[in-house]
Homo-oligomer: A and B are copies of this chain.
Amino acid sequence: MGDHAPEAAEVFDLGAFLPYRMAVAAERLSVGMSKRYRDEFGISIAEWRVLVNIADRGAVSVRDIEREVHLEKSKASRAASRLEAGGYVTKAVNAQDRRLVVLQLTEAGEALMAQLARIAMAYQARLDQMLAPEIAPLNRAIDRILSDL
């Protein structure tokens, strides 16, 4: 028995552990955005990613979304369904390959996207400014993490 003592010596410094730090930082960055999206427009992060992808490419399938914006396919599928229910997206069958879905923005979807894009760009500008000194190496580091490993 004896020492139930504190082991004060740092067993492991979570505050210096990169995966933890990145996760917390990423959540911080998302939270402002996503809260605003959710409260003001009823849009989740997954839905936002789907929206952007459709806006960029005009017509996409669930598979495309999965590949392009890192959304597991069931998540992409459900996000698309919610967007359809909200009237922002239409879902159709691809005539050339009837396994594929064709997702496209409605007018409401385009309008929404325009608003969200404005907010996002303003946010990005603020971040760029705030991180000015280290934005370049930060982006290099992220690129490396995304490509390697």
A: residues with CB less than 8 A from B are 4-8, 10-14, 16-30, 32-33, 45, 49, 52-53, 55-59, 69-70, 104, 113, 117, 120-121, 123-124, 127-128, 130-131, 133-135, 137-142, 144-146, 148-149
Contact = CB atoms under 8 A, between A and B. Distances in A.
B146 A25 contact: yes
A58 B11 CA distance: 10
B131 A7 contact: no
A20 to B, nearest CB: 7
A22 B24 contact: no
Report how many copies the assembly holds.
2
B149 A32 contact: yes
Given A56-B14, A120-B12, A29 B141 contact: no
Contacts of A32: 149
10 contacts: A8-B58, A12-B55, A14-B49, A14-B69, A19-B26, A21-B139, A22-B29, A133-B140, A134-B137, A137-B137
